[in-house]
């Protein structure tokens, strides 16, 4: 083989190798697209690619928070303070030796008093006058009287009246007549409880039509 033929052969081989190299380094094939045969799962997988990862707000309850708590109820309970129902009252009566003690607790509104301006304890003593009277064939004299007013955390005002009678023959006491309904029409009902010296108990809901607490 002559030198000229050798050069032509080398040139041909070089050209063939260059073409193969260019083919290997050329642009990639068309990006993969799922075919109809691949099913919806493949299409969904392709659509998901490239979607940035997103965060979600943590909706878990804070530390110490009840996950089952009713927000409406919680808001209602947030109005702090003791139970307060206009028109109602709570009465307890106890007997000890010759003494009969009454304690009446009720909102100031029941007495026709503005809750925004509660009277002093001294000024409020007049509301204990004639609030109740013992019943039965015996004589009782008022021995002590006290009245206290207060404002709870919810802004409601209430009054507690305490009256103590000393009775000559306390065994003859049959009950207590409550005059609050006639003196103060703001009273609609009173939950009353009597506790006797030997563990006797009596409970009644008193109203204007049934204003006597029977001890038997």
Token representation of residue 168: 């000559």
Which ranges in the chain belong to alpha helices (H)? 3-24, 39-48, 71-77, 121-124, 180-183
* Euclidean distance between CA atoms 205 and 57, whole angstroms: 53
Q: What is the pLDDT of residues 15-46, one digit of tens each?
A: 454 444 444 444 445 555 555 555 555 445 44
pLDDT digit string, tens, across residues 50-99: 545 554 444 454 444 445 544 433 333 333 345 568 899 999 999 999 99
The sheet carrying 212-214 orders its strands as: 132-135, 175-178, 212-214
pLDDT score for 195: 96
State the pLDDT confidence band at 158, using cuts at 50, 70 and 90. very high
Backbone angles phi, psi at 36, to 5 degrees: -60, -25
Beta-bridge mates of residue 135 = 175
């Amino acid at each position: 083989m002559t030198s000229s033929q050798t050069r032509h052969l080398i040139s041909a081989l070089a050209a063939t190798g260059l073409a193969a190299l260019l083919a290997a380094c050329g642009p990639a094939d068309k990006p993969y697209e799922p075919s109809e045969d691949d099913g919806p799962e493949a299409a969904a997988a392709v659509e998901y690619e490239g979607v940035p990862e997103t965060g979600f707000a943590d909706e878990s309850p804070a530390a110490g928070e009840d996950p089952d708590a009713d927000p409406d109820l919680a808001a209602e309970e947030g109005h702090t303070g003791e139970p307060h129902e206009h028109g109602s009252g709570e009465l307890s009566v106890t007997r000890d030796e010759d003494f009969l003690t009454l304690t009446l607790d009720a909102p100031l509104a029941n007495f026709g008093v503005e809750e925004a301006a509660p009277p002093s304890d001294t000024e409020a003593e007049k509301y204990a006058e004639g609030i109740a009277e013992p019943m039965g064939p015996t004589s009782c004299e008022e021995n002590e009287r006290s009245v206290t007013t207060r404002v709870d955390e919810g802004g409601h005002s209430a009054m507690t009246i305490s009256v103590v009678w000393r009775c000559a023959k306390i065994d003859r006491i049959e009950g207590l007549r409550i005059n609050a309904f006639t003196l103060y029409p703001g009273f609609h009902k009173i939950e009353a409880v009597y506790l006797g010296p030997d563990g006797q108990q009596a409970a009644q809901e008193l109203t204007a039509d049934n204003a006597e607490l029977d001890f038997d």
